[in-house]
Copies of this chain bind each other. A is one copy, B any other.
């Protein structure tokens, strides 16, 4: 029995693609070797946000006096971990329910392209079966990138998976890499009392963000006792003793850092090995599967989405790619009357959920200048915001960038309380090709953090009221 669509991998790329396929009338199956929901639900977005919430609750307790509350408390590390696993399990079960509800066959095992329209699945019991499909969508995701100097041993040099389920809280930790994953874990452990040092190769943390964001985050992290070493590189780690001794090359020479454990958070490598790409001649490029704007590979009938293709390695990107890919297949087969629009990778928001939160979309100031725009920049400090003051979260700012000529909204960069919930406004407004005028004419509720986006725009145009 052949399927219309078979998806390999059940992360937010794969399971969403499968559901959309089923909705559009395709007979659909999904193959997963481990747990439904992929990295995102089991070892990524969701369990980390559960950990971070525990840290934030703990912070409120530590600062309760500032709110007129007398409280003391301790974080029970294993209870915090257990809660996070419970949240992940719940969401993974949710995917199971969704598969059933959408009548998608779930095939557990390791899948490998066998021939055109055929995937071989090896179950955990060692038995193999062939699954036939008209359309195959590869959504195998990614894993921790490993540096030669920083081989993950799972005990003293760990990746994100181990960092989420450590048997006990380390007293000290070196975090290598300061992208979203690195700073989220850094914040989490530091808040719970671990002595954290972040080592970053570039000259600033969260290097994909606007430079001012990096500076503000570093300032806040340092205030909270996190050590930050930028323009620095771990060249080797000695794990022979009780803890680890990491050799770090800095601008000022070599330093030895000692800690209980090293977390390697230096990026993502796509899962493209052993899945039959070479055998079927599916092209890859720089370690990822090469696709067109509708996620077709060079081999007809084979598609790829999510972390295993180029583009931001983010869950919301994977999901949208899955939807576009499937809708376009349906469009081609006349099962759907609307050809989906290609994804605009320049309008994808990125969020980091430490405290303060970071959220951004579009061009940084430097990117806008480099692209030749004459720009108007507005920055509003949240120390001047009523809601921030009432909430006791005065750190951070909102920065907006507009094209001076036509008023196009080029980018938004926010750091502060709750900003991750506020970035969608910019995404939608950019999608609708707003100019600054329409946003200023849209009433933002008072008192919110979100009204400060409007204030920042006013700053850009010299009409700022509250600063």
Residues of A within 8 A of B (CB): 12, 16, 19-20, 23, 40-41, 45-47, 49-50, 52-54, 57-58, 60-61, 64-83, 87, 90-91, 94, 98, 314-317, 319-320, 323, 341, 343, 347-351, 359, 384, 386-387, 389-392, 418, 420-425, 427-432, 434, 438-439, 441-451, 453, 462-463, 465-466
On whether the beta carbons of B315 and A447 are closer than 8 Å, the reply is: yes
A390 and B60 in contact (CB under 8 A), knowing A428-B425, A443-B316, A465-B16?
no
Do B315 and A40 touch across chains, with their CB atoms under 8 A apart? no
Which residues of B sit under 8 angstroms from A75, Cβ to Cβ?
68-70
Name the residue in A41, A68, A76, A428 with the highest tally of chain B Cβ atoms < 10 Å from its Cβ: A68
In contact, A421 and B423 (Cβ under 8 angstroms): no
What 10 pairs between A and B have smallest CB-CB spacing? A71-B73, A68-B79, A68-B80, A49-B390, A432-B432, A316-B446, A315-B446, A431-B442, A50-B390, A57-B67
Contact A442 B427 (CB under 8 A): yes
A-B contacts, 12 of them at CB < 8 A, read A20-B463, A45-B386, A57-B67, A57-B69, A68-B80, A68-B81, A69-B75, A71-B71, A72-B72, A319-B446, A347-B443, A422-B422
Cα of A444 to Cα of B348 in the assembled complex, Å: 8
State the CA gap A61–B63 with chains docked (Å): 11
Bound together, the chains give a CA A438 to CA B431 distance in angstroms of 7
Residues of B within 8 A of A463 (CB): 20, 23
CA–CA, A49 and B425, complex, Å: 23
- Smallest CB-CB separation from A94: which chain B residue? B384
Beyond A58-B69, A72-B73, A76-B70, is A320–B425 a contact (Cβ under 8 Å)? Answer: no
Closest to A387 in B: B49
Minimal beta-carbon separation of A328 from chain B (angstroms): 14
Alpha-carbon distance between A424 and B398 when the two chains are bound, in angstroms: 15
Interface contact A444-B424, CB-CB below 8 Å: yes
CA distance A341 to B320 in the complex (A): 36
